[in-house]
Structure 1
Amino acid sequence: MSEGIKDRAEPGMPEAAAQSRASVLRSRAESYIALSRYEAAIADLTESIALVPDNARAWRLRGESHRMIERYDAALTDFDESLKLEPDSAYALGSRGQTYAAMDRLEEAMADFEHALTLTPDSLWILEAKADALVDLDRLDEALDEHAKIIRLNGEQPYPWVARGDLYQRLNLYPEAIDDYAKALAIDPGHVRALSRRGEALRMIDRYEEALEDLNRALELDPDNDRALGSRGAVLSELGDNEAALHDLDRAVELDDEYVWAYRVRGEILQELDRHEEAVADFTRALHLEFGD
């Protein structure tokens, strides 16, 4: 424990001391958050709030800690308190919007994102969160507009290109996706997600050899990337190497035993090999995971 911080506040602590202790607790909580130690952060922030209830930052930080461990109702309560104290906090609005989005309350999320962006129009993380909500609302053209804004603001980084590439891929616009992944890779040739996702997009338009090259490179950099393993398994099957494909798919579901698509692809390969009992098991697992059968 840091020097000068006791285990708990003393009863009847003078106001100046309470303010000082609460301040250090808030600061320590921020470091706990940076370390992903959210329960410890919540404990410090709860005491800080008890000492100084009118500090908006403490409520906001505790709300963010609750959000990160999926305690969404508690997060909303804290963000509401923070916004009572600072109604125009773009950070609290954006974080509350993310919480609403995680709860599938998308219209409320959009209202918070729109308000936040009137205060900080170039906030990249809020623009990204808004784009994600627009995708979930099936307002895909508007989502693409948001991605274009993000690229204008931060196109020297690979991530915005990958994010828009992912949306293009969701829209089955594979050449456009491939072009965006290529832009990301021009910035960072070792960007694993860009390599993996470009490999998948190339697979979707039957460019299997190029897909395999990208996926091999992604897996050299990240051997336990379950999505890249699943995609490479599908590519290897298309190229006629079912045994190698099964090896990749076995590893993919070992890494993520809820990887629905990998079970479906593996089931199809097993069916092709007349291994029908195993195929039935994979299809049954896929149905259970996706539909609760």
Structure 2
Amino acid sequence: MDKNAKGIQYMQEGKWEEAAGLFMEAIEENPLDTVAYINFGNVLSAVGETEKALKFYDKAIDLDKGAGAAYYSKGNLFYELERFEEAKAMFEHAMKNGLQSGDNFFMLGMTLLQLDQGKLAIPYFQRSTELLEEDAEARFQYGLVLAREQYIDEAVKQLEKCIAIDPSHADALYNLGVAYGFKENAEKALEMFEQALDVQPDHLLAAHGKKLIQESMG
């Protein structure tokens, strides 16, 4: 196993210092190894050293203008810093440089949501769910944006797929209840609110939705 692969394994185990050490060794052995710079930046980002992380991502991009993973990592960092315009630009650069991953499409969709561009986010969430078929969160966010843009029937389909993947996703159950309420299917809405409360008894929005539906049903 090479040092980058071993370092990633350490990152997955939360062993940040060990990971950083291996990535630094990889850089010293091959100063043109863009992957090592990206990985080291990811460690720095994970431990809150954001400015240092940006320098390593920029170094990777200087070495290889087509390093899609560097743009993606830089986009994630900008997203965490709530610098959404810059995040959007990075995810778009990643895509243009060949990073056609479900995660990149998902994060571009999330960024567009933060920029109040929900309609523009829809195709990116759609593509993310095509590539990440079993990712409950991708389905959830896709369902939410469809609902916000008034595509209620499509939203219901995605939220149902979300809870098929993760039956304990209380927010998806709650939003399904809202969608069924919008469709004037009170019984189904009540069922969804009750399921959300079974999963998360302190889900205040689900409790409120249940109360409203029960009042409307008399």
Q: Tell me which interval the TM-score lies in, with the shorter structure as reference length.
A: 0.7 to 0.9
**Matching of residue 131 in structure 1 with residue 109 in structure 2:** yes
Deviation at 1:143, TM superposition (A): 0.9
- Within 5 Å, give how 1:149-228 maps onto structure 2: 149-153=127-131, 159-171=137-149, 174-185=152-163, 188=165, 190=167, 192=169, 193-202=171-180, 209-218=187-196, 220=198, 222-223=199-200
The residue number in structure 2 matching 1:278 is: none
**Matching of residue 231 in structure 1 with residue 197 in structure 2:** no
RMSD (Å), alpha carbons:
3.4
Deviation at 1:56, TM superposition (A): 1.8
The residue number in structure 1 matching 2:52 is: 74
Paired AA for residue 80 in structure 1: D
Give CA deviations for 1:249-278 in whole Å, capped at 9, x if unaligned. Answer: xxxxxxxxxxxxxxxxxxxxxxxxxxxxxx
RCO higher in structure (CA 8 A, sep ≥6) = 2
Q: Is contact 1:212-1:232 (8 Å) kept?
A: no
Q: Distance in 1 between matches of 2:147 and 2:17?
A: 37
Q: Distance in 1 between matches of 2:143 and 2:214?
A: 28
* 1:145 aligned to which of 123, 146, 150: 123
Deviation at 1:154, TM superposition (A): 5.0
Identify unmatched segments of 5+ residues in structure 2: none
SS in 1 for 2:123: helix
**Bigger Rg, which one:** 1
Q: Distance in 1 between matches of 2:136 and 2:90?
A: 27
SS in 2 for 1:122: coil
The residue number in structure 1 matching 2:32 is: 54
Deviation at 1:182, TM superposition (A): 2.6
Q: Is contact 2:38-2:70 (8 Å) kept?
A: yes
Identify unmatched segments of 5+ residues in structure 1: 1-19, 242-293
Paired AA for residue 91 in structure 1: A
Q: Distance in 1 between matches of 2:186 and 2:49?
A: 43
Q: Please say which of residues 210-219 and 86-95 is displaced more in the overlay.
A: 210-219
SS in 1 for 2:100: coil
TM-score, normalization by structure 2: 0.76
Q: Is contact 2:42-2:53 (8 Å) kept?
A: yes
Q: Distance in 2 between matches of 1:117 and 1:49?
A: 26
Q: Please say which of residues 91-100 and 208-217 is displaced more in the overlay.
A: 208-217
- Within 5 Å, give how 1:96-115 maps onto structure 2: 96-115=74-93
Residues 120/191 of structure 1: CA separation in 2 closer, same or farther (3 Å cut) = farther
Deviation at 1:76, TM superposition (A): 0.9
TM-score, normalization by structure 1: 0.59
Paired AA for residue 231 in structure 1: L
Paired AA for residue 232 in structure 1: A
Deviation at 1:79, TM superposition (A): 0.7
Deviation at 1:126, TM superposition (A): 1.0
Q: Distance in 2 between matches of 1:211 and 1:102?
A: 34
Paired AA for residue 52 in structure 2: A
Percent of paired sites with the same residue: 22
Deviation at 1:158, TM superposition (A): 5.1
Q: Please say which of residues 76-85 and 194-203 is displaced more in the overlay.
A: 194-203
The residue number in structure 2 matching 1:257 is: none
Q: Is contact 1:122-1:153 (8 Å) kept?
A: no
Q: Distance in 1 between matches of 2:80 and 2:89?
A: 14
Q: Distance in 2 between matches of 1:116 and 1:42?
A: 24
Paired AA for residue 73 in structure 1: E
The residue number in structure 2 matching 1:94 is: 72
